[in-house]
């Protein structure tokens, strides 16, 4: 499986994806599932994926190819992020339909992928889209500032508790890293390293992004201090009254 | 959906089940999904369920009927908890197979249920079983002291962090209530009230159990103080270094 999350805040955006892929439990590998596109000062786009690695890689390859070949419509030329999300959705549908046709299995879900696309184009608002396997998409709003893909349930409570649209970017980053920590702790199919990109709204700078591995000092301090805080906080909570036993 | 969890500790056992059932989002009801059986001073058994309510209720009805009719083999007469788990598994398979036959759909998963069975019989160790839809079962061990059914992922991280076989019962109870709090917070299909039974090992007392609703003072203090503790602890964590932004 995979765990990806992306948050669109008042002041910035954060994108994070794990890198573990597995077919069963004995074929585990590391693959990048987060890619960046853009033109410094003009547009910044992050694309994340979960699902069939073959489908996802074919989509990434096609998108990069279109940029390299300067196709008339590509991620570096589309007018809006909505158009970009539509383009990715259509590309994904084409890849999936082709795979199903070759496999002669039109109802197969083996080739299913999902994507998230976020970023900003000059003169427009920062946006974040969830692109469904059907190819359509929804946009993050102030009410719903984050999306998740893959093994999303373990890490959802901490985001639900800590992240709103107005949350400070560095604070949301803490919650997001703990969301990954909880997921990795509870589910073998999600694993380090984690690819992270933090974007400051309206900067139109293309951040290098960071790969957080098991030696990352910040991540390790966070997970250690959080484990300690949880342990301490739990002990300080009141014990259940005796009449709960009877 | 449903969320059930049961923990087998050195000194006691805790069983908790929510009571929400839903068919779609517009047919939501409250049903008990945790039942107790036993003979004071001789045996104590708790049975929890998730899945098809029709299958689960049929199983509960059959089990109670066998006890009432003093069938030779029933939950009050079986020699071991393993036998009890086998009996429940077989009863569940019979109900499911009958439902599939009537529906003329042998491969249907509509009628699928799962159960957990735990307790103690005099002179034997306390035990906890997870009974799969196939009718077979596994037993909780010192390495794996808790089982969950239904919407288990949201509430697994806090149990993974806080509960081992040697954990104090009241402490495990805190973690279990927070596990429910996180799940209810993040998933609409799990809801109050929560049925809870706490058992002190070797007491062979049949606890009345407790139904925790939204007015429960202890649960409300826990969820409030926990939310505060999470908020405070998050703020106290170090902020990510500036070079994570670039």
Residue B182: which of A157, A185, A210 has the nearest Cβ? A157
ipTM of the complex: 0.86
**Cis? peptide before B171, omega within 30° of 0:** no
pLDDT band at A188 (very low <50, low <70, confident <90, very high): confident
* Residue A91 neighbours by CB under 8 Å, 6+ apart: A59, A62, A63
Q: How far is CA A173 from CA A88, A222, B203, B244, in A?
A: 27, 11, 48, 10
Residue A240: which of B173, B186, B237 has the nearest Cβ? B173
Dig out the tokens for B170 from the structure.
């009241």
pLDDT at B174: 96
Contacts of A170 in chain B (CB under 8 A): 239-240
pLDDT at A23: 67
User: CA of A147 to nearest chain B CA: how many angstroms apart?
Assistant: 13
- Return the minimum-mean-pLDDT range out of A24-28, A69-73, B116-120: A24-28
Contacts of A162 in chain B (CB under 8 A): 230-231, 234
The mean per-residue pLDDT over the stretch B159-175 comes to: 96
pLDDT at B185: 86
A97-127 residues labelled b (16+ CB within 10 A) or e (exposed):
eebbeeeeeeeeeebbbbbbbbbbbeeeebb
The mean per-residue pLDDT over the stretch A63-91 comes to: 96
- Return the minimum-mean-pLDDT range out of A147-156, B19-28, B55-64: B19-28
Cβ separation A229–B236 shorter than 8 A? yes
pLDDT at B217: 95
B76, pLDDT greater than 90: yes
pLDDT at A244: 84
pLDDT at B25: 64
The mean per-residue pLDDT over the stretch B130-158 comes to: 94
CA A59 to chain centre: 16
Cβ separation A160–B186 shorter than 8 A? yes
**Which of the pair, B179 or B107, is modelled with greater confidence?**
B179
* Residue A24 neighbours by CB under 8 Å, 6+ apart: none
Cβ separation B157–A185 shorter than 8 A? yes
Dig out the tokens for B42 from the structure.
């001789």
pLDDT band at B22 (very low <50, low <70, confident <90, very high): confident
Report the candidate in B184, B169, B168 with the shortest Cα–Cα distance to residue B219. Answer: B184
A161, pLDDT greater than 70: yes
Residue A175: which of B187, B234, B244 has the nearest Cβ? B234
A25, pLDDT greater than 80: no
DSSP A122: T
The beta strands (E) that lie in chain B are given as 3-8, 12-18, 20-22, 28-30, 34-39, 43-51, 113-121, 127-131, 137-139, 146-150, 194-200, 210-212
Contacts of A231 in chain B (CB under 8 A): 161-162
User: CA of A91 to nearest chain B CA: how many angstroms apart?
Assistant: 30
The mean per-residue pLDDT over the stretch B31-57 comes to: 94
Average per-residue pLDDT in chain A?
93
For A45-76, the pLDDT digits (tens) are: 999 999 888 999 999 999 999 999 999 999 99
Cβ separation B157–A186 shorter than 8 A? yes
Q: Which long-range contacts (CB under 8 A, 24 or more apart) does A131-138 make?
A: A131/A85, A131/A88, A131/A89, A131/A92, A132/A89, A133/A51, A133/A92, A133/A96, A134/A89, A134/A93, A135/A89, A135/A90, A135/A92, A135/A93, A136/A89, A137/A82, A137/A85, A137/A86, A137/A89
Cβ separation A230–B185 shorter than 8 A? no
Contacts of A208 in chain B (CB under 8 A): 246
Domain ranges of chain B: 3-237
pLDDT at B162: 94
Question: Number of Cβ pairs closer than 8 Å across A and B?
Answer: 131
User: CA of B214 to nearest chain A CA: how many angstroms apart?
Assistant: 16
**CATH number of the domain located at residue range(s) B3-237 in this protein:** 3.60.20.10
Query: What residues pair up with B131 in beta bridges, in sequence order?
Result: B115, B137
The mean per-residue pLDDT over the stretch B87-96 comes to: 95
B52-68 residues labelled b (16+ CB within 10 A) or e (exposed):
bbebbbbbbebbeebee
Average per-residue pLDDT in chain B?
93
Cβ separation A237–B225 shorter than 8 A? yes
The mean per-residue pLDDT over the stretch A196-222 comes to: 95
């Amino acid at each position: 499986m995979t765990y990806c999350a992306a948050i669109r805040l008042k002041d910035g955006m954060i994108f994070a994806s794990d890198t573990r892929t597995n077919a069963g439990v004995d074929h585990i590998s590391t693959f990048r599932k987060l890619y960046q596109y853009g033109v410094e000062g003009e547009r910044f786009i992050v694309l994340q994926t979960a699902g069939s690695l073959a489908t996802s890689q074919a989509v990434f390859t096609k998108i990069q190819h279109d940029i390299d070949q300067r196709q008339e419509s590509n991620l570096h030329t589309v007018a809006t992020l909505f158009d970009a999300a539509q383009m990715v959705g259509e590309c994904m549908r084409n890849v999936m339909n082709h795979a199903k046709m070759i496999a002669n299995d039109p109802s197969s879900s083996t080739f299913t992928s999902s994507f998230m696309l976020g970023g900003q184009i000059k003169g427009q608002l920062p946006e974040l889209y969830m692109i469904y396997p059907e190819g359509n998409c929804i946009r993050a709003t102030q009410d719903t500032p984050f999306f998740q893909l893959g093994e999303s349930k373990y890490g959802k409570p901490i985001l639900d508790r800590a992240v709103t649209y107005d949350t400070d970017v560095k604070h949301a980053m803490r919650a997001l890293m703990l969301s990954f920590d909880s997921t990795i702790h509870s589910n073998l199919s999600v694993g380090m390293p984690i690819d992270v990109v933090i974007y400051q709204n309206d900067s139109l700078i293309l951040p290098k992004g960071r790969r957080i591995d098991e030696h990352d000092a910040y991540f390790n301090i966070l997970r250690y201090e959080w484990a300690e805080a949880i342990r301490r906080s739990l002990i300080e909570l009141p014990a259940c009254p005796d009449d709960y036993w009877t």
